[in-house]
């Protein structure tokens, strides 16, 4: 009996030692540096099973063995807590670190930038070209309803939801600025402010000029003068669906359309683009000036004038500069 007990104890000790060594080996395998030589992004689609996730990581070179990852996920209980999305796996990521990253849900944060002055059609086009987003956009949002700025998103986010965020941002900024607007503006509604800001946005790409350009249009509206803005003529022709692709002609100024501010008094029926915050600020809190005219000055900015005679001289100067540039080309 004593001998049998010694044999049993020896066997149990051997098994315990084997189990301990196996545990140490498993822990070493679990913690050791993985095979990934260079950091890599991997997308885990929604609804992926633990088997599919394991196989995807092996194919991407993040782990050595899909079966080992599968077993580790089951043993640690993480298999039911792994989340879909795009993950940035660093070089040498261990099996443990890979599991913890997928469990954390810390996906790659991407950026989508809406440039100032783009039309609704432009923005929708950019969204549809962004392959990391999902979903269709059944109809164009209202012109001027999207706030140009940089938005963060993750792989697989819905395009319509991102559009709704743009609209909420515009509504919030417009409400803030409208409440703090200057007194005496010839603007009756926030929507009219967006319309005028969109014209300012399209008229100049020079940030410092926006308040001055805004003052010109404010002065014209107060005096009952037509805005005579070329970008509104472009919108009358294209409706913001595509670039005009050529210079405006005198015949274009005669086009009969509500958006043509050469042919119609006051503001056009709506915005001609999506203005940024700076243009909205310029319109709702414009600088005081006695300017009524402006024209390109040949350096990327504009020359401003108080009288028509002064403006005509600026126009003649611009034409000399333009013709000289054309001659050099």
Quote the CA–CA distance of 102 and 88 in Å, as a whole number: 10
Quote the CA–CA distance of 305 and 23 in Å, as a whole number: 84
pLDDT of residue 65: 86
Contact 144, 122 (CB under 8 A): no
Give me the mean pLDDT over the 147-173 stretch: 96
Topology (CATH level 3) of domain 32-108: Dna Ligase; domain 1 (3.30.1490)
Q: List the single range of 130-134, 143-147, 161-165, 322-326 with lowest mean pLDDT.
A: 322-326
Query: Rounded to the nearest 5 degrees, what angle is found at the Cα of 86, between the Cα atoms of 83 and 91?
Result: 105
pLDDT of residue 6: 54
Residue with tokens 């970008």: 231
Contact 86, 109 (CB under 8 A): no
3-state DSSP assignment of residue 222 = helix
3-state DSSP assignment of residue 232 = helix
Q: List the single range of 62-71, 107-116, 160-169, 248-257 with lowest mean pLDDT.
A: 62-71
CB neighbours of residue 321 within 10 Å? 14
Domain ranges of the chain: 32-108, 110-167, 184-328
First to last CA, the chain: 109
pLDDT at 254 over 80: yes
Question: At 175, phi and psi to the nearest 5?
Answer: -60, -45
Per-residue model confidence as pLDDT tens digits over 182-222? 999 999 999 999 999 999 999 998 999 999 999 999 999 99
Encoding tokens for residue 50? 């633990």
Per-residue model confidence as pLDDT tens digits over 3-62? 655 554 455 544 544 444 334 444 544 678 889 899 999 999 988 999 999 999 999 999
Using a cut of 0.75, tell me whether the model's pTM lies above it.
Answer: yes
């Amino acid at each position: 009996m004593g001998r049998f007990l010694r044999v049993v104890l020896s066997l149990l000790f051997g098994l315990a030692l084997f189990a301990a060594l196996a545990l140490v080996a498993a822990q070493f395998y679990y913690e050791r540096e993985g095979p990934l030589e260079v950091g890599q992004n991997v997308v885990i689609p929604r609804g992926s099973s633990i088997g599919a996730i394991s196989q995807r990581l092996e194919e991407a070179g993040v782990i050595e063995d899909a079966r080992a990852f599968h077993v580790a996920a089951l043993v640690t209980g993480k298999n039911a807590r792994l989340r879909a999305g795009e993950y940035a796996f660093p070089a040498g990521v261990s099996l443990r670190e890979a599991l913890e990253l997928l469990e954390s849900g810390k996906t790659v944060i991407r950026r989508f930038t809406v440039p100032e002055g783009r039309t609704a059609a432009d923005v929708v086009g950019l969204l549809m070209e962004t392959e990391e987003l999902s979903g269709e956009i059944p109809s164009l949002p209202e012109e001027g309803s999207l706030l140009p700025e940089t938005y963060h998103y993750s792989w697989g986010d819905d395009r319509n939801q991102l559009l709704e965020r743009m609209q909420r941002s515009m509504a919030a900024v417009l409400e803030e600025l409208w409440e703090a607007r200057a007194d005496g503006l010839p603007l009756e509604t926030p929507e009219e402010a967006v319309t005028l800001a969109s014209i300012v946005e399209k008229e100049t790409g020079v940030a410092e000029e926006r308040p001055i350009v805004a003052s010109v249009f404010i002065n014209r509206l107060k005096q009952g003068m037509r805005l005579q803005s070329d970008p509104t003529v472009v919108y009358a022709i294209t409706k913001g669906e595509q670039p005009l692709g050529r210079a405006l002609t005198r015949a274009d100024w005669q086009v009969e359309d509500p958006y043509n501010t050469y042919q119609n008094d006051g503001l056009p029926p709506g915005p001609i683009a999506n203005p940024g915050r700076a243009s909205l600020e310029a319109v709702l809190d414009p600088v005081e000036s006695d300017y009524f005219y402006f024209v390109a000055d040949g350096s990327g900015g504009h020359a401003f004038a108080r009288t028509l005679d002064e403006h005509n001289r600026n126009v003649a100067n611009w034409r000399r500069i333009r013709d000289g540039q054309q001659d050099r080309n």
